Amino acid sequence: MAAIPPVLRQGARDVFDALPAPARRGVRAAVRRPGGRVVALERLDSELAVAAELFARSEDEARGFLGALTLEPPKRWPPDPFSAEYREWTWALYREISGRATYGLANEASPIDLPQALARPFPYATGSPSVVGEDLEARGFILRCLAGPDARVVPPARVVEFGPGWGNLTMDLLATGYHVTAVEVDRRFCELLEARRVAGGCLDVVHTDMLSFRPRSRVEAAVFFECFHHCADHVALLERLHSLVETDGCVLFAGEPVQEMPYPWGPRLDGLSLWSMRTYGWLELGFDPGYFRRALARTGWRARRHRLGRRRPKAEVFVARAAAGRSERRG
């Protein structure tokens, strides 16, 4: 049988992503693609206790266990994903999953030891070649997309990186010659970023949250790498990004969970996300592909998706630019 050309495979995938969530689930069932082990909320703690034991022994074993775990999805949600009623529904689901009465920026704190993080930051501290390899692959792909034909942002351009965390991508950007503003809500990560600063690199570390950040001047690009989904009001952030980037600038959403969801957007129900919400209280949102594109269009952005290959969600980048009408109003 002849191989399917990549352009046709990508087109088929785009058509699949445009289908409503129930239709996509039907397609998956038809091709016998398993969805993992579905558990009820009352069984979640016992399942995560097993994961905790596995993490103590092997990162790969724990991730494999959580990768096969899914929480039973809710059966109903408000019809309008942009309504206040829907937002409250997502917060109620988060509270139920996380076991927290409320959500605040303090929930995003990470348990790190600064000297240890300097010697072996994540993902290297996992000791897992596969986890490290995925991260290296994803970061390299971000750099390629940043300089690629859709973005065309090359050193020494000004880039704001939101939620840099351990600072691996930050160091990549600095060493490549970009001028980087790193916006980080966790003070300990800010200290780590300062300590890891590349000699001669142009780095400004700002301790604040994504929605509160105000730049000194516009930048050529804003980059999110596995952090946009932690924002408590992603629609407001999409609107605000227009005031952060240049008129001809761009926004990169890299490794974000734009994936099949049982509802338009909300807390993700996969095992690793459940672990993160229940253990640390982190906000782990996911966005159905159709909803994500609607949210971008609604806030004046047009985007193109880039993939390094199939089943590599970390190495997936949406490059967004202001839509024509919005760009003209900003100019």
Assign domain 116-268+284-330 to its CATH architecture: 3-Layer(aba) Sandwich (3.40)
Domain positions in the chain: 1-33, 116-268+284-330
The predicted model scores a pTM of: 0.86
Of 229, 231, 224, 220, which is closest to residue 253 (Cα–Cα)? 224
pLDDT in tens, the chain (331 residues): 333 333 333 444 454 455 455 444 443 433 334 457 899 999 999 999 999 999 999 999 999 999 999 999 999 999 999 999 999 999 999 999 999 999 988 889 888 899 999 999 999 999 999 999 999 999 999 999 999 999 999 999 999 999 999 999 999 999 999 999 999 999 999 999 999 988 778 999 999 999 999 999 999 999 999 999 999 999 999 999 999 999 999 999 999 999 999 999 999 999 999 999 999 999 999 999 999 999 999 999 999 999 987 777 788 999 999 998 765 455 4
Residue 328 corresponds to which tokens in the numbers above?
């003209």
Q: How far apart are CA 240 and CA 248, in angstroms?
A: 16
Half-sphere exposure of 76 (CA within 13 A, CB side): 2
